[in-house]
Amino acid sequence: MQDAYLYDAVRTPFGKVGGALAKTRPDDLAALVVAESVKRAPKLAGSGAAGAIDEVVFGNANGAGEENRNVARMATLLAGLPTSIPGTTVNRLCGSSLDAAIIASRQINVGEADLMLIGGVESMSRAPWVLPKTERPFPMHNLELANTTLGWRLINKNMPKEWTVSLGEATEQLREKYGITRERMDEFAANSHQLAAKAWDEGKYDNLTVQVPDVDLARDETIRPDSTAESLSNLRTVFRKENGMVTAGNASPMNDGASAAWLGSEKASEILGLQPLARIAGRAAAANEPQYFGYAPVDAVNQAIARAGITWEHIAAVELNEAFAAQSLACTDAWGVDTSIVNSWGGAIAIGHPLGASGARVLGTLARRLEASGDRWGVAALCIGVGQGLAVVLENVNARS
């Protein structure tokens, strides 16, 4: 078994739904981060050596629109890479691109590959409306369009109704179960915005992002630096009119964007001309009742840490995708973790959550956070609709201790 390492990561700034990236196709966003990844590898860029890439694995949660024809393969072709490079697209909803990293790391571990490009993409702006096919020709009844942007649609009638509630209602149920207050949710959300703005101001995202050509978007579009717990407390609830606490302010927005990262064996260093940032040290998936999807990262992270052969005492950095403030707090409470190490460069409530792109974003951010701090161990995790969680532990190969 050979180790799998993360060498580099890059993403676009994330745009809001209907915002700066709304006119950019998802396959073009994916092609951009593929091409940029090659440019950032000194021994691949302009050398004709890109054929050394064993495979491209991308995550995408929708697959119903312009990304429908295996977006990993389409992005590879649109980026001008050799046609000999295979590509596959993974769908584990919000965890899709972290799943891409897990799949690629396993291929590297068993010696099937030395260099893998992973990533993910989502354009929630351009997700289509779909019309189900009729069970018989020439129907006499009206058909209902389904919005493919987010959440349940075309639901199987045999699925229990308690499992198919909206993501927001599921979060309301989760925060009730674990006693998460509105005050904590709004404070968490405001902190996400303030930390993200600070990280951008300090240049922490400069090496993690690439600008989209001909688009005026220098930073993540949904960051609101002036957010405070007090200002967020004035927002109305979205999913429950009475006794609700989930608002647009303490939930992640809908977004467009793409992300990518190089994974490889030790040999990949020579192929890329890059030194590894971190080793993939542990991985895990977990599942629970679909309506409590937000809590599934708890078991996933605990398992991944155990598989890495360490404990929570070793973890110095956590990147937890903030689908909702309530579910993030439920997870951090369960872990008993010092919240100062969680999403210290901001999280998805501010940065955004373009579903298929978020996994590679949290993984790449974690690697750069460990590099900046010199700490050794960190974990990246996401909750996933329909009751799943995914986690990866990274070991900083250049840690100070």
Largest CA distance in the chain: 71
Residue type, 400: R
* Secondary structure of residue 29 in the 3-state scheme: helix
* Residue 349 contacts residue 189 (beta carbons within 8 Å): yes
Contacts with 60 (C-beta within 8 Å, 6 or more apart), sequence order:
26, 67, 71, 89, 90, 91, 96, 120, 121, 122, 355, 356
Strand partners, 187: none
β 377-384/388-396 pair status = antiparallel
* Residue 84 contacts residue 52 (beta carbons within 8 Å): no
Contacts with 164 (C-beta within 8 Å, 6 or more apart), sequence order:
152, 155, 290
Strand partners, 116: 55, 263
d(CA 25, CA 9): 21
Catalytic choice (193, 314, 331, 353): 353
How far, in whole angstroms, is CA 264 from its chain's centroid?
Answer: 20
* Residue 360 contacts residue 98 (beta carbons within 8 Å): yes
Active site residue 314: no
* Secondary structure of residue 330 in the 3-state scheme: helix
Active site residue 94: yes
How far, in whole angstroms, is CA 172 from its chain's centroid?
Answer: 22
Residue type, 60: N
Active site residue 331: no
- Backbone phi, then psi, for 242, in 5-degree steps? -120, 135
R_g over Cα of the chain: 20
Catalytic choice (141, 193, 331, 383): 383
d(CA 273, CA 6): 13
Question: Dihedral of CA 215/29/44/5: which sign?
Answer: positive
* Residue 117 contacts residue 262 (beta carbons within 8 Å): yes
* Residue 101 contacts residue 359 (beta carbons within 8 Å): yes
Q: Which residues are catalytic?
A: 94, 353, 383
